[in-house]
Chains A and B, each alone.
Chain A
Amino acid sequence: MKYYDKLIFELSVPSRVGFSLPQSEVSLPKEGKIWRQSPLNLPEVSEPDVVRHYTMLSQMNFGVDTGFYPLGSCTMKYNPKINEEIASNKVFASLHPLQSEDTVKGARELVDTLDSCLAAITGMKHFTFLPCAGAHGELTGLMLMREYHKSRGDVKRTKVIVPDSAHGTNPASAAVCGLEIVVVKSGEDGLVDVESLKPLLGDDIAGIMMTNPNTLGLFERQITQIASLVHGCGGLLYYDGANMNPLLGVVRPGDMGFDIMHLNLHKTFSTPHGGGGPGSGPVGVCEKLVPFLPVPKVSGFHGNFAVMARALAYILMLGKENIRMAGKLATLNANYVKESLKDCYKLPIESVCKHEFVFDGLKESNGVTTLDVAKRLLDYGFHAPTIYFPLLFHQAIMIEPTETESRQTIDEFIEVMRVIAREAKENPELLHSAPHNTPIGRPDETAAARQPVIKYEKKS
């Protein structure tokens, strides 16, 4: 197929229309300084133009439905189609967020049911659904942490501990919440070093944010000891639910000693990522923090309701039976890939992993970087893993296969990764210049950042 490079603006022809609206009998007043004077540049296109344009754009995109998406830390599992049917229900779609309670009983019941399901799955007591994404949940959770300490008159707790392996959102959320960040180091085993943690604990610590399993896909084996140490100093434990998937149906954050957590419904609970959102990041709390819900008010209305509906549909499909296998199969797939590739890719920490694991580049790189490997994978029809994260390893390749991929798909991926390792030895140039089979080749990102062009301007 020909490379299609148009923008919708470039299809515009003056006075062509794509709308179907009745004629207006009224025209707007023109007098007075409150009205717009400058012309409004929007495309003037027909409905068929719009449909063809966006269909062509979609064909330049890769999604979970197009192929395997082993993107570490992103949990790109299959997005069930029943979820979409539920989310587009005409009645739910028509409800105004400020309608009186007696007219939205079904919507409230949906939210309450999801609340009790998530509580059962995580061992938390209740959830607030206002946060629209994981990072938004982190911020909300930290606000709740501050409210808890404030209610006890314990106002000097201004610091939060974050492991060096944490997602970038953790320190960023803490900063937005007005907390100071204290970094705790990981040990040689990739886990939080308890001896490094101890001296950090004191009466100025609001809490610790942890991802478990962490961003290396490793379970923090000393979690219960860490929990008692942090609780012992008066702090709270925050669970970053980004990596909840391998624990789904196996371990509950509440039972590990966490007080506050968020879930990413768009990861663990199968709602589609939509090219970057909408997500939903409900925040759950243990019993002693329930009085602080549902505030703080962090978004306009009730959160991303249509995303919640999808997540509940998934949970009902799983039920108490299938949930038992979800995390385990995700963990099985990850370990299978790791064991099948560790002879060609550098495995920095030899251990059983959970839903994901990290390689530190090729064993015999021959000058081939992680970026080259990632780009070459695109040629073979796979999405690339997460690369250059976590920052602990220079050539990080973070692979998360999820439980919805079959052994056959994973075997194909393993085979391609081995082929790429071979290509690195025999023909590194092929990898430096990859990808070769995609709609475009590697873009000049430096030019994009030096002289940013972030909107379309018609050439005069």
Chain B
Amino acid sequence: MSKVVEGLLYSESHEWVKVDGNVAIIGVTDFAQSEMGDITYVDMPDVDDEFNAGDDFGALESVKTSSEVITPVSGKVIARNDALEDSPELINEDAYAAWIVKIEMSDKSELDAMMNAAKYSEFAK
């Protein structure tokens, strides 16, 4: 059974969002990392890149698979977790600590479409 953290929002494509004012901190869920296996590389966007909700902004790679990471919200990238560049395994170790990007949201109402922890636990069963 993979871990789900209270207080975060979740997408159907297994990203989590932590809301900090106008900023969405985005990562992938424990379920996503366990499906991937050992992550070997995290392809991240550059700061200032802009995305619409539903766009893939990067990808996770393992030896035999690759999975796009999709932003549930529109906006501009204001930070990325450069620690993942040399240590992609941080996501395997703790998917909720290893955020990938921070996006300044242009439309906070997009968060309404996301699941809470209870719903996601049900979804990812």
User: A-side interface residues toward B, CB under 8 Å?
Assistant: 388, 445-446, 449-450
Residues of chain A with a CB closer than 8 A to B62's CB: 446, 449
Total CB contacts across the A-B interface at under 8 A: 15
Return 15 A-B CB contacts under 8 Å, by A number.
A388-B64, A445-B63, A446-B38, A446-B40, A446-B62, A446-B63, A449-B40, A449-B41, A449-B61, A449-B62, A449-B63, A450-B40, A450-B41, A450-B88, A450-B89
Which residue of the partner chain B has the closest CB to A445? B63
Residues 71-91 of B contacting A (Cβ, < 8 Å): 88-89
| Shortest Cβ gap from B8 to chain A (Å) | 27
Which residue of the partner chain A has the closest CB to B61? A449
Report the 5 A-B pairs with minimum CB-CB distance, sorted nearest first: A449-B40, A446-B38, A445-B63, A450-B40, A449-B63
| Shortest Cβ gap from A446 to chain B (Å) | 4
Tally of chain B residues near chain A (CB < 8 A): 9
Give A265 to B41 CA distance when docked, in angstroms. 36
| Shortest Cβ gap from B68 to chain A (Å) | 14
Residues of chain B with a CB closer than 8 A to A445's CB: 63
Residues of chain B with a CB closer than 8 A to A446's CB: 38, 40, 62-63
Which residue of the partner chain A has the closest CB to B37? A446
Residues of chain A with a CB closer than 8 A to B88's CB: 450
Give A288 to B10 CA distance when docked, in angstroms. 53
Residues of chain B with a CB closer than 8 A to A450's CB: 40-41, 88-89
Proximity string of chain B (48-62) to chain A, C-beta cutoff 8 Å, 1 when within and 0 when not: 000000000000011
Residues of chain A with a CB closer than 8 A to B64's CB: 388
Main secondary structure, interface of A, reads: helix
Give A388 to B41 CA distance when docked, in angstroms. 21
Which residue of the partner chain B has the closest CB to A449? B40
Residues of chain A with a CB closer than 8 A to B63's CB: 445-446, 449
Residues of chain A with a CB closer than 8 A to B38's CB: 446
Give A388 to B62 CA distance when docked, in angstroms. 15
Best-surrounded residue of B40, B41, B88 (most CB of chain A within 10 A): B40
Give A449 to B41 CA distance when docked, in angstroms. 8
Give A445 to B38 CA distance when docked, in angstroms. 10
Residues of chain B with a CB closer than 8 A to A449's CB: 40-41, 61-63
| Shortest Cβ gap from A451 to chain B (Å) | 9
| Shortest Cβ gap from A34 to chain B (Å) | 36
Give A445 to B61 CA distance when docked, in angstroms. 12
| Shortest Cβ gap from B79 to chain A (Å) | 23
Give A446 to B40 CA distance when docked, in angstroms. 6
Give A449 to B88 CA distance when docked, in angstroms. 11
Give A446 to B92 CA distance when docked, in angstroms. 13
Which residue of the partner chain A has the closest CB to B41? A449
Residues of chain A with a CB closer than 8 A to B61's CB: 449
| Shortest Cβ gap from B62 to chain A (Å) | 8
| Shortest Cβ gap from B64 to chain A (Å) | 7
| Shortest Cβ gap from A290 to chain B (Å) | 40
Give A242 to B111 CA distance when docked, in angstroms. 46
| Shortest Cβ gap from B38 to chain A (Å) | 4
Give A450 to B89 CA distance when docked, in angstroms. 9
Give A449 to B60 CA distance when docked, in angstroms. 12
Residues 15-63 of B contacting A (Cβ, < 8 Å): 38, 40-41, 61-63
Give A449 to B61 CA distance when docked, in angstroms. 9
Residues of chain B with a CB closer than 8 A to A388's CB: 64
| Shortest Cβ gap from B22 to chain A (Å) | 34
Q: Given contact pairs A446-B40, A446-B63, A449-B62, enumerate 12 new A-B contacts (beta carbons under 8 Å).
A: A388-B64, A445-B63, A446-B38, A446-B62, A449-B40, A449-B41, A449-B61, A449-B63, A450-B40, A450-B41, A450-B88, A450-B89
Which residue of the partner chain B has the closest CB to A451? B86
Give A337 to B89 CA distance when docked, in angstroms. 42
Which residue of the partner chain A has the closest CB to B87? A450
Best-surrounded residue of A388, A445, A446 (most CB of chain B within 10 A): A446
Give A444 to B61 CA distance when docked, in angstroms. 16
Residues of chain A with a CB closer than 8 A to B40's CB: 446, 449-450
Residues 82-109 of B contacting A (Cβ, < 8 Å): 88-89
Which residue of the partner chain B has the closest CB to A450? B40
Which residue of the partner chain A has the closest CB to B40? A449
| Shortest Cβ gap from B88 to chain A (Å) | 7
Which residue of the partner chain B has the closest CB to A391? B65
Which residue of the partner chain A has the closest CB to B64? A388
Give A208 to B106 CA distance when docked, in angstroms. 39
| Shortest Cβ gap from A386 to chain B (Å) | 13
Give A279 to B49 CA distance when docked, in angstroms. 41
Give A413 to B62 CA distance when docked, in angstroms. 32
| Shortest Cβ gap from A222 to chain B (Å) | 32
| Shortest Cβ gap from A283 to chain B (Å) | 29
Give A446 to B36 CA distance when docked, in angstroms. 12
| Shortest Cβ gap from B52 to chain A (Å) | 18
